[in-house]
């Protein structure tokens, strides 16, 4: 459908101006002053499930905006004069900084995360409990989203309330063919709000709901939503270690990264000086020797 929509856009724009030239490359939607817009770029903008009418509108608006931007860019290039040099310098500076930043972040995570011991994480967690107080409730359980016309739905409504192995096996087999979504998380903590974002129901007080309910069943015109809550931790309590572990690693990395980067840059500098990769001019050499 996406390709047909994009083709229609191309035909529409072509017919709207008789002087428009055509391009033989089927992947090209339009070209302006040497810049090219491809079908894939437009396809990626259209969410799956979007109607033909909405897809057409999204594609048409994007193509028109892209053409206008390309034309303004071309006019700017021809009229900015000496300012183009300043812009190119700023672009180079940004590119330089971006490469440096991305590499340093990658290096920090690879090197520092590997050096963080389990004892370091546990000690940090024990000594900083106040940093891990929950502002959202956590739950363990399972979630199902099933079409209202799916066969055997009444059986699933009984199975999901039980955490027995027999019930779970039945749910797993059933879900392969019938469920739109089946998420088993008896073995890990998940934000209650994150789960509820998939269910068309409003819960004003999460703590009160979790205290009083172990299951939730909601039905709309298309789907039945089933939630089993095996365990919960309310808002205001300290997050369990296994849930907080990723955040703990990030915090420990942030504590150590300044020293790491300083040492890393100094090593690069000293090695480059020794190997002769850095060549000073005469005046610069006199300054560095002072």
Q: What is the mean pLDDT of residues 245-252?
A: 92
Domain harbouring 174, CATH code: 3.10.50
Q: If we measure between CA atoms, which residue out of 273, 241, 238 comes closest to residue 118? A: 241
Please check whether residues 148 and 100 belong to one and the same domain. no
Range of the domain at 109: 87-133+256-290
Same domain, 75 and 91: no
Q: Domain check: are 138 and 211 in the same one?
A: yes
Query: Does residue 123 belong to any structural domain of this protein?
Result: yes
Assess whether 128 and 263 both reside in one domain.
Answer: yes
31-82 per-position pLDDT tens digit:
888 888 888 888 888 887 778 888 888 888 998 998 999 999 889 888 888 8
Query: Do 138 and 222 belong together in one domain?
Result: yes
What is the pLDDT of the chain when averaged over all its residues?
A: 86
Do 180 and 148 sit in the same domain of this protein?
A: yes
In three-state secondary structure terms, 226 is: strand
What average pLDDT does this structure show over 164-168?
A: 93
In 3D space, the residue among 107, 109, 110 whose CA is nearest the CA of residue 99 turns out to be 107
pLDDT in tens, 15-33: 444 455 555 556 888 888 8
45 and 20 both lie in a single domain: yes
Are 95 and 46 contained in the same domain? no
Q: How confident is the model over 95-134, as pLDDT tens digits?
A: 999 999 999 888 888 888 888 899 999 999 999 999 999 9
Domain end call among 50, 79, 108: 79
Is residue 238 in a domain? no
Q: Mapping DSSP to helix (H, G, I), strand (E, B) and coil, where does residue 12 land?
A: helix
Domain shared by 182 and 220, yes or no: yes
Q: Would 239 be classed as within a structural domain?
A: no
Tokens in use for 240? 């369990």
**Structural domain tally of the chain?**
3
Report CA dihedral (165, 171, 172, 174) to the nearest 10 degrees: 140
Query: Would you tell me how many other CB atoms lie within 10 Å of the CB of residue 34?
Result: 7
Judge if 39 and 73 occupy the same domain: yes
pLDDT at residue 15 in the model:
47
- Tell me, yes or no, whether 270 lies in a domain: yes
Q: Is 35 exposed, middle or buried (0-12, 13-18, 19+ CB in 10 A)?
A: middle
pLDDT at position 9 is 53
State both tokens at 80. Answer: 């900015």
Is residue 221 one of the residues assigned to a domain?
yes
Residues 115 and 127 placed together within one structural domain of the fold: yes
Q: Is the pTM of this model over 0.85?
A: no
Residue 152 lies in a domain: yes
Residue 60 in domain: yes
**Cβ neighbours of residue 239 under 8 Å, at least 6 residues apart?**
132, 133, 134, 138, 189, 233
Q: Indicate if 129 and 139 belong to the same structural domain.
A: no
φ, ψ dihedrals at 75, nearest 5°: -65, -40
């Amino acid at each position: 459908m996406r390709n047909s929509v994009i083709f229609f856009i191309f035909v529409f724009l072509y017919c709207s101006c008789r002087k428009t030239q055509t391009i033989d490359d089927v992947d090209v939607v339009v070209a302006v002053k040497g810049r090219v817009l491809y079908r894939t770029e437009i396809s990626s903008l259209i969410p799956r499930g979007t109607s033909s009418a909405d897809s057409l509108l999204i594609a048409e608006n994007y193509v028109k905006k892209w053409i206008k931007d390309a034309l303004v860019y071309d006019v700017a290039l021809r009229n900015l004069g000496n300012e183009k040099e300043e812009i190119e310098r700023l672009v180079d500076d940004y590119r330089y900084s971006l490469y440096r930043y991305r590499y340093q972040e990658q290096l920090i995570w690879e090197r520092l995360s590997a050096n963080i011991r389990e004892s370091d994480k546990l000690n940090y967690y024990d000594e900083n409990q106040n940093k891990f107080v929950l502002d959202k409730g956590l739950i363990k359980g399972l979630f199902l989203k099933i079409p209202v016309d799916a066969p055997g739905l009444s059986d699933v409504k009984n199975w999901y309330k039980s955490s027995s192995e027999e019930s779970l096996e039945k749910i797993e087999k059933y879900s392969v063919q019938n469920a739109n979504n089946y998420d088993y998380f008896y073995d890990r903590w998940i934000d209650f709000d994150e789960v509820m974002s998939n269910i068309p129901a409003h819960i004003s007080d999460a703590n009160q709901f979790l205290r009083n309910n172990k299951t939730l069943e909601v039905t709309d015109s298309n789907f039945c939503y089933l939630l089993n809550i095996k365990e919960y931790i309310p808002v205001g309590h300290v997050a369990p270690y296994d849930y907080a572990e990723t955040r703990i690693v990030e915090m420990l990395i942030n504590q150590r990264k300044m020293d790491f980067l300083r040492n890393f840059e100094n090593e690069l500098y000293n090695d480059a000086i020794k190997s002769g990769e850095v060549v000073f001019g005469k005046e610069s050499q006199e300054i560095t020797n002072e």
